[in-house]
Amino acid sequence: MSEMTIQWYPGHMTKTRRMMEQDLKLVDAVCELLDARIPLASRNPDIDAICGNKPRLVILNRMDMADAEMTRRWAAYFRGLGMEVICTDCKSRRGVNQFGPAVRRLLSEKLKRYAEKGQGGRPLKLMIVGIPNVGKSTFINQIAGRKGAKAENRPGVTRGKQWVTVDQGLLLLDTPGILWPKFEDPQVGLKLAYTGAVKDDVYDVEELACSLMELLWREYPAALTERYRIEAPADETGWELLQQAARRRGFLMAGGEVNTERMARVLLEEYRSCKLGVFSLEQPPAEGEGNDGQ
């Protein structure tokens, strides 16, 4: 998995935002790619302001890695905010062919107006936006039926606009809009690190693993019991859980001390490769609550 390599700074963000606002004038709708495991943490905090009144399609990507029931709840949440939603797995292409129908539903009023004006063949224009590593290039390649093109993780690079044909009547800007996450929020940073979207070396690996352990133990204890034979009270600390897992795995150092660092790396690897199972790390806010996830 590639890391979030962009070094965002205020100038970058302003420039990116301005460029995106230019691109927005060219399109009929914005398609926002999110990581289904962490739909809020993988979301740009200023997206509503950036998009203004443009119709929006939310694409909950990596559905293969997320808790299916939670992904359904997230889809309902975003629909409740007035957006169209599709769920996709770009590795297997599952859900990808829902894109065209969802866009046409989203822009049905516009299509009706085109038809009334005798402009039935007029294409709908779209752009993909999302934070680095969320799957933008893979998604574009899938829907445009091409291979290998990688969107550059460089914000603010000016290029001629190219359109790719998705199917008859749908055109997509071939370079996605790359947005920044809400990195001033420590919880967001942690979630991006758990999923591997940001480099491990930003965090202490044991601290990262401890907080992931705690989160998983709260939400999905059976998976940890099954894989690491953990038995502990529901409010056990991440550090205790990590030590227990290390002991069960036989990760001992000379002198008999448990090797928690090794266990921390194993936990992160097993979580990211879904060997532990498929989990969602955020749940949608209940009605009437703020937009803070959990």
Based on the shown chain and the rule CB under 6 A, indicate whether residue 58 belongs to the binding site for ligand G4P. Answer: no
Based on the shown chain and the rule CB under 6 A, indicate whether residue 37 belongs to the binding site for ligand G4P. Answer: no
Smaller CB separation from ligand G4P, 128 or 266: 128
State the Cα–Cα distance between residues 196 and 217, nearest whole angstrom. 19
Which range of residues in 57-65, 75-83, 229-237, 261-269 is near ligand G4P by CB under 6 A?
Answer: 57-65
Based on the shown chain and the rule CB under 6 A, indicate whether residue 79 belongs to the binding site for ligand G4P. Answer: no
Nearest-5° Cα angle at 278, 180 to 228: 115
Cβ contact 34:61 at 8 Å: yes
β-partners of residue 30 are 56, 127
Based on the shown chain and the rule CB under 6 A, indicate whether residue 135 belongs to the binding site for ligand G4P. Answer: yes
Based on the shown chain and the rule CB under 6 A, indicate whether residue 65 belongs to the binding site for ligand G4P. Answer: yes
* Three-state SS at 9: coil
Based on the shown chain and the rule CB under 6 A, indicate whether residue 190 belongs to the binding site for ligand G4P. Answer: no
Which stretches within the chain are classed as H helix? 10-26, 47-51, 68-80, 99-106, 108-116, 136-144, 186-194, 205-219, 221-228, 238-249, 260-272
Which range of residues in 51-59, 69-77, 126-134, 155-163 is near ligand G4P by CB under 6 A?
Answer: 126-134
Q: Shortest distance, CB of residue 133 to ligand G4P, whole angstroms?
A: 5
DSSP state of 98: G
State the Cα–Cα distance between residues 190 and 27, nearest whole angstrom. 34
Q: Among 64, 167, 261, 270, which residue sits at the site for ligand G4P (rule: CB under 6 A)? A: 64
Based on the shown chain and the rule CB under 6 A, indicate whether residue 173 belongs to the binding site for ligand G4P. Answer: no
- Applying CB under 6 A, which residues contact ligand G4P? 1-2, 61-62, 64-65, 88-91, 130, 132-138, 151, 153
